[in-house]
Amino acid sequence: MGEATKSELQPGNRRNWWKVAFFIAVILLEFTREFAVLNNAEGAQPSAMKTIFKLRDTVIASGRWLRSDGGDQLTPGLVKIECRQETRQCVEASVSANDKYFHAPDLNWFDAEFSPAGVSYVNDNAECARYSVTIDLKQDRAYATRVRKPSPSNPLCANLEPKIAMELGDGYVRNDDPLKGHFVPFLQVVVAIFKVLS
């Protein structure tokens, strides 16, 4: 007993368990890499609900500017606009983010036009563009149009789209396809299998 039989010593019957273990380790390492890619790919997610309301002579709107013309997503950020009819001005506080980092808030005052339907003002402070903002109380909407200035002093302004339309929405935007734009072949295969099976 304890001695290997002649058939166990033949080269075709030897088990190369280390090859199987190595293959499993490589697959686990790839899955770990793919999960890390997806985890790090998600940028900052502002957390705020869209709110628009009027309280006495003050109109308040807050949320996140979202593209309404079907173009690429805007840089994540939050905005709060407070307009007082007494001073005929709007105060706009905005915070923007790149990757997972938020920038210091910007605070600006603008002369505003008031009507029974809402408030509108123009933000001409930006170097590259002019923003026309309208808060419509009857429709419970706030929307803006950004138009690139015709001859800005900064040459980088030429990279801006000539015109975009935006609407105030909720801060959190759900990503329905987190795998899009990332090299994650194993996870794509797993998702495809689940789609076929369901």
Give the HSE-up count for residue 50: Cα atoms under 13 Å, Cβ half-sphere. Answer: 14
**7 vs 118, which has greater pLDDT?**
118
Shared-domain flag, residues 62 and 115: yes
48 pLDDT above the threshold of 90: no
- For 157, the domain range is 51-169
Per the domain annotation, does 175 fall within a domain? no
84 pLDDT above the threshold of 90: yes
Confidence of residue 143 (pLDDT cuts 50, 70, 90): very high
* Residue found under tokens 């957390």: 47
Confidence of residue 114 (pLDDT cuts 50, 70, 90): very high
DSSP H/E element including 25: helix 17-41
Shared-domain flag, residues 64 and 162: yes
Which residues on adjacent β-strands are paired with residue 131? 123, 146
pLDDT tens-digit readout, 10-45: 555 567 788 888 989 988 988 888 888 777 766 666
92 pLDDT above the threshold of 80: yes
Per the domain annotation, does 89 fall within a domain? yes
Shared-domain flag, residues 143 and 79: yes
| Domain count across the chain | 2
Shared-domain flag, residues 58 and 35: no
Output the pLDDT for position 42.
67
